Structure 1
Amino acid sequence: MHSTILGSSSLHWPDESACEDFARALARRSELHDAFIELHGPLGAGKTTFVRHLLRALGATGRIKSPTYAVMEPYTLPDLQAWHFDLYRFSDPREWEDAGLRDILTGPGLKLVEWPDRAAGLLPVPDWRMELQPGDDDQREVMITAYTPRGAALLG
């Protein structure tokens, strides 16, 4: 598991527009620019949907696709560089090492990682761990846990 919890927040998104509103508000936070956010939840929980809304709010244009097969999609945005990782297809944590992605994850820019448990023990401590749980219709229960001062500031 991760280090000491510095803060947490529980959210209810009654629909996708609530997810989009949250992403827009988060995109305005300067602390986000070098953040590492883990995204947890079952298939269909809304992880990729949240990432799409966040990247759009940060200025991404064009198609924002899931990196399920590519493992990583880079985005050059107006004010920052961002990377969206999807480790779902990894069957062994060592595949993270073999993919040579460590430098990106520890460097500057926004890093969003779906299925981080597939690289268990090899990733640095995230600023945020977001756990998304689907409910009825488009509802989502979201638990955000901050593990760093940057993550705690983002909760602010």
Structure 2
Amino acid sequence: MIKSLYIANKSRGTQQALPEIRLIAGRGIIGDRNFDKSRWPGQNITFVETEEIARYNTAYRQVIAEHATRRNVITEGVRLNELMGREFRIGGVRFRGVELCEPCAFLGELLANDGTTQKDVIKAWIGHGGLRANVLSDGTMKVGMHFEFD
């Protein structure tokens, strides 16, 4: 299920929660910082599991908010790593999981604090940072929608 949706209109900009987003095939989320960019696979949209955010918070005694992960879509009840190389749908929009969304130095910098170093943050999110996907069809995605698989 889609728990939350976020965009940032510029690189390193503030994440804004939205009840729905509009997607364009091959271009991504209208209004997002990565719209119409293709420097790397799956730059169209990123997903992360709320369960992984909770795991991180418990393991590192943190209280990071969903938007702190810098991902566009927060999911619940879906194992995202299993969607690598697979097509899936949310509402009428089709996606292809193309790459694990591994942590970057910027995420490490954002989440580091007195109790957790930048290196610790990056290590904690490796293999748990979510999924990058390509948008394969135009459409709208809303909070509360469910994943559909063939």
Q: TM-score range by the shorter chain?
A: under 0.3
Higher helix proportion (structure 1 or 2): 1
TM-score (norm 2): 0.24
Q: Which has the higher strand share?
A: 2
TM-score where L is the length of structure 1: 0.24
Q: Which has the higher contact order (CA 8 A, sep 6+)?
A: 1
